[in-house]
Structure 1
Amino acid sequence: MPSSPVTSSSRPVILDGDPGHDDAVNILLACSSPELDVLGVTTTYGNVGLERTTHNALVVRELIGGDFPVYPGADRPLVVPRLSAEAVHGESGLDGPHLPTPTRGAEALHAAQFIIDTVRARPGEVTLLPTGPLTNLALALRLAPDIATLIREVVWMGGSLEAGNWSPSAEFNALCDPHAAQIVFETAAETGLKLTMFGLNVTHQAIADSRRVAAFRALGTPVGEFTAVLLEFFAEHHRERYGWDGGALHDPMTAAYLLAPELFEVRPLLVDIDISAGPSAGRTIGDVWRVTGRPPNVDAALKVDADGFFALLTERIGRYR
């Protein structure tokens, strides 16, 4: 376990994702940081199916000796057919390193209900870090609209203010369930729910190249080696598609933003979600020049200090012994 325990002043968070290589690194970052109190990990379909993403959350918990509960959630989008990304993450969703066998299972409660119950029990305190499709959060907001004003903040990895990665227009998490994304973004506009978006336009600035991967291996710890092997596999897809020397480390930006907001440049922006069935389906449309006259509904990340981001990540993963 990390050397620094959670304290009474730690910020309570729920990690909602589809582990996934970069989701796994986000869990490692959050759980090694005493500034954050991980109340639970909720899982959804996405990179692979729900059964695998839930198993992978349990694998990461086993690896670090964690005690956070894991709550399975949505196994499909609200409307559109399910996508998956085995081509990026492998059949297991965590291909590359040896995966320990979990000794404890997931909880019976549905992820959306866990979100509802937890937010209601701690009004104004809980931050959600979704790093996959927004289906679990959209379900929670539809089942319990009152929680929109009780959530402290939502920090989502998804979307793009530039090109997509799963279609020419759309980022994978947004394209997986554009209707869920629309629910969350419209709720932010209507209720003032604080929503921050980390899209490809910023996550593609942070590449886990061979030098940065070597820094994880140089930690000389089992978790450091796990992270290095994980990212070496993750690099293969990015090398083939983009010609990069490593993978873009998308999801850990959500936890890093809570830990070191000074590493990022964000700006208020109106973002709409394209829910059409055409070639721009799932596109996150940013009103950069404010031509609509409508007020912003998100804080959109624009830039990251990539060296500072990886320094933080390496230091925190180095806390596991």
Structure 2
Amino acid sequence: MKITNQNLPYKKMIYDGDPGHDDIMAILLALGTPEIELLGITTVAGNATLEMTTRNALMVTELVGSDVPVAAGCAGPLVRPLYTAPMVHGASGLEGAELFEPNRKPLTMHAVDFLIDTFLQSEGDITLVAAGPLTNVALAMRREPRIIPKIKQLVIMGGGRFGNITPAAEFNIWSDAEAAKIVFESSVPKIMCGIDLTYQAVATPEMMARIQAIGSKTSKFVHDFMQFYCAQSKSRTGRNGAPVNDACCVAYLIDPEVFTAHMRRVDIETKGEFTYGMTCIDVFRMNSGAPLLEPNVLVGETLNFDKFWDMMISAIASFR
């Protein structure tokens, strides 16, 4: 059964990410929710190489019969070497499921060009969900600043009050902090789904059982790759389940009340020896700048776990 809430407006979005396990959950949530019109998927290297993340996006859209365009983007960060996450997602970025070579092909257009063209032609009504390193988004903003006022809002999966790749930094921001700095300093309205929020979106054994009980081809695919993802999470962190971080961004677009949030000042650290890639969140307005720097990001804090997973399960159940 699909989500049907007549009180929710019809919402357009582009998904920019590095499809590993939690990106696929986010894409399925978008495709399986009638209120969302997914206009395109733009891929970037991060969880895995660009070749793998693009293939994964093509594969899952083909699996569920979607013709949403997929455009491949940047194969590495702006200035740093590429660092991927096989310890989390496997070499393919989507280990655990029965993977196949998709018949679908990516657009010949580069992801940055797709973002620029789509936003310039829009009426300012498209949300950009950015759930990987922010390289594509930063390059699009730098190459064509006219897109900045055209982006309705930017929902970012990244950052947090603690790190998961270093003690201070979360993986997506750390992967390309220079790009993140460009994006966070832009005037686009920004919502940040940091890991202190997204780590609440855990695929518990109970949620895994609900996915398995759907009994469809898609739910089996999801259950298989999520079993690997959960096992990897348990071996690295001891958690009994894995967080589907990126799906929190799409859930917010569907229903902003899925988590609480407050306006905070957030700045990106690009020079620190131990803090490179940190999102410096001024919770208590301690910033001593002259003048005091104003809050610039809506930072998500507490997730409504049941509401989130009801959305997620309903979306998965909408596919064969």
Tell me, yes or no, whether TM beats 0.5: yes
Q: Which amino acid aligns with 1:286?
A: I
The answer for the alignment partner of 2:300 in structure 1 is 301
Name the counterpart of 1:144. 144
The runs of at least 4 consecutive aligned structure 1 residues that moved more than 4 Å come to none
Secondary structure at the counterpart of residue 214 of structure 2: coil
User: Contact conserved, 2:74 with 2:135, CA < 8 A, in 1?
Assistant: yes
Cα deviation for residue 244 of structure 1 reads 0.9
Cα displacement (A) at 1:10: 2.7
Aligned length: 312
After TM superposition, give the deviation of residue 237 of structure 1 in Å.
2.0
Once the two structures are superposed, the pairs formed by residues 64-83 of structure 1 within 5 Å of their partners are 64-83=64-83
Counterpart residue number, 1:233: 228
Question: For the Cα contact (< 8 Å) 2:82–2:175, is it kept in 1?
Answer: yes
* TM-score, reference length from structure 1: 0.94
Q: Find 2:285's aligned residue among 268, 285, 290.
A: 290
2:201 and 2:248 in contact (8 A); partners too: no
1:228 partner SS: helix
The residue that corresponds to 2:173 in the other structure is 174
1:218 corresponding residue in structure 2 = 213
Cα drift, residue 315 of structure 1: 1.1
**Corresponding position: 1:258 with 2:257:** no
Residues in 2 aligned to 1:134 and 1:123: alpha-carbon distance in whole angstroms: 23
Matches within 5 A, 1:111-190: 111-161=111-161, 163-187=162-186
Distance in 2 between the 1:66 and 1:248 partners? 25
How far 1:277 sits from its partner (Å)? 5.0
Offset at residue 276 of structure 1 (A): 1.2
Paired with 1:121 and 1:14, the residues of 2 have a C-alpha distance of: 14
Distance in 1 between residues matched to 2:231 and 2:251, nearest whole Å: 24
The within-5 A match list for 1:53-64 is 53-64=53-64
1:181 and 1:59 map into 2 onto residues whose CA distance is 28
Deviation, structure 1 residue 11: 1.4
Q: Alignment partner for residue 267 of structure 1, among 262, 268, 271?
A: 262
Secondary structure, counterpart of 1:286 in structure 2: strand
Checking the alignment, whether the CA contact within 8 Å between 1:196 and 1:299 is kept in structure 2 is yes
**Partners in 1 of 2:37 and 2:117 — Cα distance?**
17
Paired with 1:103 and 1:182, the residues of 2 have a C-alpha distance of: 37
Does the aligned pair in 2 maintain the 1:3–1:320 contact within 8 Å? no
SS in 2 for 1:218: helix
Q: Which runs of 5+ in 1 are unaligned?
A: none
On the 8 A contact 1:123/1:151 being kept in 2, the answer is no
Indicate conservation of the 8 Å contact 1:20/1:94, yes or no. Answer: yes
Structure 1 counterpart of 2:91: 91
How far the C-alpha of 1:36 sits from its partner, in A, is: 0.9
1:63/1:100 contact within 8 Å kept: no
Residues 275, 3 of structure 1: alpha-carbon distance in 2 compared, 3 angstrom cutoff: closer
* AA at the equivalent of 1:278: E
CA distance in 2 between counterparts of 1:277 and 1:198 reads 23
Name the aligned partner's letter for residue 203 of structure 1: T
Q: Is the 8 A contact 1:155 1:198 kept in 2?
A: yes
Q: 1:290 to 1:3 in 2, by over 3 A?
A: closer
Counterpart for residue 310 of structure 2: 311
CA distance in 1, matches of 2:54, 2:314: 27
Task: Assess if the C-alpha contact under 8 Å between 2:41 and 2:69 holds in 1.
Answer: yes
Report how far residue 181 of structure 1 moved: 0.3
Using the alignment, how far apart are the partners of 2:294 and 2:26 within structure 1?
31
Aligned to 2:29: 29
- Runs (5+) with no aligned partner, structure 2: none
What letter corresponds to residue 319 of structure 1 in structure 2? Answer: S
